[in-house]
Amino acid sequence: MSVKVAVVTGSNKGIGFSIVKGLCKRFDGIVYLTSRDDARGRAAVAQLNALGLSPHYHQLDVVDRASVLRFSDHIKEKYGGIDILVNNAAIANSAEWYNSYEENKNIVEINYKSILTIQELLFPLVRNGGRILNISSDCGHLSNIKNKYWIGRLSNKNLTLNDINEFVQWFLEKSKNGNLSKDDIADNATFAAYRVAKVAVSALTMLQQKELEGRNICVNSMHPGLVRTDMTLGAGFYSADEAAETPLYLVLEAPATLKGSYIWYDKKVLDWYDCNADYYFKTATLRK
């Protein structure tokens, strides 16, 4: 009988850390806390050790292909596979509502393009019947996009990876040329890169589900709520431990029929395609 393995990316602090903590308490197997920075990762493990919990640690920088490969080889060699994979690693631009092209590019690289690398190198290790959770955001609901052309392409039931990548590329080119219209994205295009990256992740989740359907793997994306973390500069309506409850439910307890869905922080499954819904992120919520 093979040992069960759970992996949480970007988990040295915030929601990722709380998900690792919860998995250590409830998951019957090995739990990997991973982080880009080795020292911070090991300090986080020591914090959990002090609580009597014993996560394993491995360095993992999701935007560094070589790092993802090293981690993949490590898991393959030691355990042969993964049962739970939580794609949590992300950055936001909470301090500034509008960012430079370089900052936007970096946000897209970490929040969206890294998931493509993980999909290529770690998804093949996910065992049949496993669970994958992409941590998205309310910025990841389709209602964040107001450009009619892109709403049409992204909501097409025959969506392809090419559609998603071209959407992301369109945004980056507009950002580079300084001609993104504030009407193209909700809330006057505040936090535009984060919205674009997370919408791309939510859309990608549905494609991933189609690809993995034959292996009975559940892939979902979810909005963890506005959580008091470093990423939100302390703004939010609940703690990281509280925010970890729905992710833990999705990877440990949710029915296996819940697949390819976009889920709200209260476990409610939302219609991701409802572009006229009021689910998009509003900067007003950050004003304390």
- pLDDT per residue as tens digits for the range 214-256: 999 999 999 998 776 555 555 566 888 999 999 999 999 999 9
Burial of 152 (0-12, 13-18, 19+ CB in 10 A): exposed
Share of the chain above pLDDT 90, in %: 89
- pLDDT tens for each residue of 71-82: 999 999 999 999
Q: What is the CA radius of gyration of the chain?
A: 18
Region of poorest pLDDT, from 113-127, 128-142, 229-243: 229-243
- pLDDT tens for each residue of 46-88: 999 999 999 999 999 999 999 999 999 999 999 999 999 999 9
Token output for 171: 């945004």
Give the pLDDT score at 200. Answer: 98
For the chain, give the longest Cα–Cα distance: 57
Beta strands in 73-125 (DSSP E): 82-87
Give the pLDDT score at 285. Answer: 77
Asked if 42 and 17 count as a contact pair (C-beta separation under 8 A), the reply is no
Query: Which residue numbers are catalytic?
Result: 194
**Domain-by-domain residue ranges, the chain?**
5-286
| Residues 6 or more apart in contact with residue 54 via CB below 8 angstroms | 24, 48
- CA–CA separation, 263 and 222 (whole Å): 4
Q: Report which DSSP code applies to 235.
A: -
Asked if 141 and 280 count as a contact pair (C-beta separation under 8 A), the reply is yes
Whole-angstrom distance between the N-terminal and C-terminal Cα of the chain?
52
Asked if 10 and 34 count as a contact pair (C-beta separation under 8 A), the reply is yes
| Residues 6 or more apart in contact with residue 210 via CB below 8 angstroms | 260
Kindly report the backbone phi and psi dihedral angles of residue 31, in degrees, each rounded to the nearest multiple of 5, phi listed first: -115, 125
- CA–CA separation, 173 and 44 (whole Å): 38
Beta strands in 92-182 (DSSP E): 126-135
CA proximity to 43, closest of 32, 52, 33: 33
Token output for 90: 């992300």
Give the pLDDT score at 34. Answer: 98
CATH class of 5-286: alpha beta
Give the pLDDT score at 64. Answer: 97
* C-alpha distance from residue 10 to each of 90, 208, 287 (Å): 7, 21, 27
Distance of alpha carbon 38 from the chain centroid:
21
